[in-house]
Amino acid sequence: MRSNIKNISLIILLIVIVVILLFLIFGNTEFNSIFTFLFIAGFVVVLGYSLWGYLHEEIKSKSNEKLALPSSRLDEDPRIVFNQSLKVFNDQLKIIQPSFQHALYLIDPERQEFVLQNNTTDVFFESTDLKNKIFQSIFGEEQALLLKPSEFNESWSAMIDIEKTNELYCMLGAKIVFKGAPIGGLFALANDVRKFESKDQIFLKQVAQQITISLSIIDNIESLQNHQKIIEKINSITHSTNISDNKSVFYEQIIKVCKTIFSYDKLTIMVGYQDDEHARIEYIDGHTLDISIHEVFSLKRSIFGSVIQDQKIINSANISKDFAKRYRFFNDEKPSHSITSVLAVPILLDDQLGGCLAIERFEEKKYSNIDRYYLEEIARVLGTLLYWQAEYYKMYLNTTHDSLTGLLNYRAFLQRLDIELNRATRNDNSLVIIIIDVDKFKRINDTFGHTAGNEALKEIADLIQSSVRSIDVVARYGGEEFIIVLTDSDLNRAEQIADRIVNKISDHIFLFDEQRMRITISAGLAEYPKDSDQVQKLIEAADKAMYNAKKHGGNTFSI
């Protein structure tokens, strides 16, 4: 549109110049005629610019009319597509920050106010003044800023309904930018400052950046729609996976999305391993000749070390030039048919450095800024999923495992026992239950204290666990008692295992307050289905056998 306007103005100016030249060549150049000529020229110039202004308004008007036509397809209006983007961002905020109230304000040039575009609550007012100090504060910060009502007083009450809140409320604010200039803010409101964590600041800033990108391409509907689809794909990863799934399911979803967005010859997911100096390959897609899944490499001189250890982003068209003295995984990497360009971003687990997501190719070509943005978003989603899964397993362990010994608790043990009994019935196999009780355990607590007693139980649990197969089930029965299921086993095999456990514990030296001490156990065995085919009766049979071992002085087992 701007080019059309310039063309029209140039044509008008050319007409004026031509008229002047014709007048000078063919006209009378007397003094009075010159004044006549100047008058005519001035008139033509004024007329020309009036015509230019009229055409300018006509073009602008027709452009606006086109967007407003009732017959236009909805996706022809960039404002509608942008509003759809806002809905996606709103849903994203609700999922990741469900306990907060969110609002988005953008400048309205005509009203000269910040106007509410999107919100999840009625606490925020529809508009606020451009001089509002809250906005001025977030405009000066690159990160999301923590805002408290006591710091802003009138500005706070001009934006938030104080009758629906109180002095404990606070919020995070992140700026929205358009063409390099701040034009609004994204806010997350909470009723207590303690609800905010550093990861919330990072997430709010990332959503604000997504909105900024949507705004930057709003004049190009096709680009905006494509961007919107990509963001939806990235966010869909969290919906298409279950927190209890294996990590490989997460990785496969990541690969599936990455293949539709990027061009690469190799994608690698790496995580920190054991210490801060090494990393392990979790997943690979594409070229695998240089390193394999589960391999561990040193970060000391690896280019990925700065990504995992220092949270830096690498985007290089030629790593051999940019990182001449460093290597990717190993210092003996062969240059033939090697990776040339790389884009690598950090994976954060609850703000803690967790790993690296890298895409690489043989071609010497740098990845674009939008590629970098999308890869960062994917890494953020992956980091969130891995963090949620870690938290899930913590909760799972708390409900199924004994907090002291790390063994299954009795409730979870009964569930596993039921599964093993059904399997034994289907396969016509036997299994054996062993119940173990620590001999004279009260003496340890009375002599050395309960802390020493707990340490003894943990050591005994480890000794028992190391004496059975990985397919066997070990649990804490209660107090100083333990219970074992030996799957696909009979009494003859079970006696050997029971004897091994008894001797292993009696031979072990326990150290309490620098005093050496020996501990013994008593164990009772019962076989399914020989002794009983019912869970409770089978446990009672093993328990009775254990007390029979105690009657014989302990440090033995009984059937």
* CA pair distance 99, 117, nearest whole angstrom: 20
CATH homologous superfamily of 240-389 equals GAF domain (3.30.450.40)
**In this predicted structure, what is the pLDDT of residue 336?**
47
**In this predicted structure, what is the pLDDT of residue 59?**
39
pLDDT digit string, tens, across residues 276-312: 788 999 999 998 878 888 889 988 889 998 898 888 8
Architecture of domain 410-558: 2-Layer Sandwich (3.30)
Sequence ranges of the domains in the chain: 2-68, 78-226, 240-389, 410-558
Q: Is the pTM of this model over 0.75?
A: no
What beta strand segments (E) does 337-456 contain?
Answer: 341-349, 352-361, 431-438
**In this predicted structure, what is the pLDDT of residue 425?**
92
Percent of the chain with pLDDT over 70: 79
Answer yes or no: is pLDDT of 437 > 90: yes
DSSP SS3 for 523: strand
Angle between helix axes 198-216 and 369-400 (nearest 10 degrees) is 150
pLDDT digit string, tens, across residues 24-36: 555 554 545 555 5
- Identify any residues that bridge with 145 across adjacent strands, giving them in sequence order: 173
Answer yes or no: is pLDDT of 75 > 70: no
Q: How many residues does the chain have?
A: 559
Percent of the chain with pLDDT over 90: 38
Residue 505: which pLDDT band, with cuts at 50, 70 and 90? very high
Q: What is the mean pLDDT of the chain?
A: 81
Mean pLDDT for the stretch of residues 145-165: 90
Q: Which of 53-57, 139-143, 474-478, 480-484 has the lowest mean pLDDT?
A: 53-57
**Tokens 């994976």 sit at which residue?**
347
Residue 59 vs residue 520, higher pLDDT: 520
Topology match between the domains 78-226 and 240-389: yes
Q: What is the DSSP letter of 149?
A: H
**Which of the listed ranges 216-225, 280-289, 291-300, 547-556 does the model predict with the highest average pLDDT?**
547-556
**In this predicted structure, what is the pLDDT of residue 301?**
87
Specify whether domain 78-226 bears CATH 3.40.630.10: no
Residue 272: which pLDDT band, with cuts at 50, 70 and 90? confident
Residue 74 vs residue 159, higher pLDDT: 159
Tokens of 257: 């999305």
**In this predicted structure, what is the pLDDT of residue 292?**
86
